[in-house]
Amino acid sequence: MRNARAARLGLLSLICFGALSASAQVAFAAVQSVNYGNLVASATVATPLDVGDTLFLNTFTTETGALFETTKFTVGPGVGSFVGRAAWEVGGPPEPNLSGVIIDIFDASHTLVVSDTFAGVSAGFAHGTFGPGATLAPGTYTLEATGTSARAASLDVSLTFAEAIPEAGTFSMLLAGLGALGFLARRRLMM
């Protein structure tokens, strides 16, 4: 009798562990880097970006004038959100190295999906972020970086892709269900 209860509890534990494991995809993260040496440039990232992957854009140029860089990339299945950061050199007086920087992400029909949010200046660099919870469904996108360069400048952008963020209600239901299973298992062991 005791062995049967232990077997049921073991089976219940395996079911719960399997459900949790299935919700967390195992991914081998990769970094796709794009390096720009000109203010006006474009590139296409050939490999789709999956959960855990990072797209890293690195610009260093001695050119002056208008910045207009476009990077086309594809988000693979399973991706639903991302976090991103950008940093660009502003230097100091008499004028900033790079100013008026805007980083936008457009979908395949060139509809704006998300823009970076200015986060401040530190140690001669301005910073922008794509907040936690920024969403991107699988598909093709174009990242556009615009601004003006007055002298040698650098700009770095990184986007790291993740699974869709579950709604709070979904997570609460999962926890309630696991709690109910634990209660039932404990009750059966007491019998």
Please tell me the predicted confidence (pLDDT) of residue 19.
40
Please tell me the predicted confidence (pLDDT) of residue 133.
72
pTM of the model: 0.72
- Per-run averaged pLDDT (10 residues), the chain, 191 residues: 42 39 53 96 96 95 95 95 93 81 96 94 92 86 96 93 67 51 49 57
Please tell me the predicted confidence (pLDDT) of residue 95.
76
> Are the CB atoms for 41 and 57 separated by under 8 Å?
no
Please tell me the predicted confidence (pLDDT) of residue 184.
46
Model confidence over 26-62: pLDDT tens digits?
Answer: 446 799 999 999 999 999 999 999 999 999 999 999 9
> Are the CB atoms for 113 and 136 separated by under 8 Å?
yes
- DSSP class of residue 123 equals T
Please tell me the predicted confidence (pLDDT) of residue 91.
82
Please tell me the predicted confidence (pLDDT) of residue 29.
78
Which H or E run contains 4? Answer: helix 2-23
Strand 54-61 and strand 31-36: the pairing is parallel
Closest to 145 in 3D by CA, of 71, 72, 84:
71
> DSSP string spanning 143-158?
EEEEEEESSSEEEEEE
| Cα three-residue angle 17-22-27, rounded to 5 degrees | 120
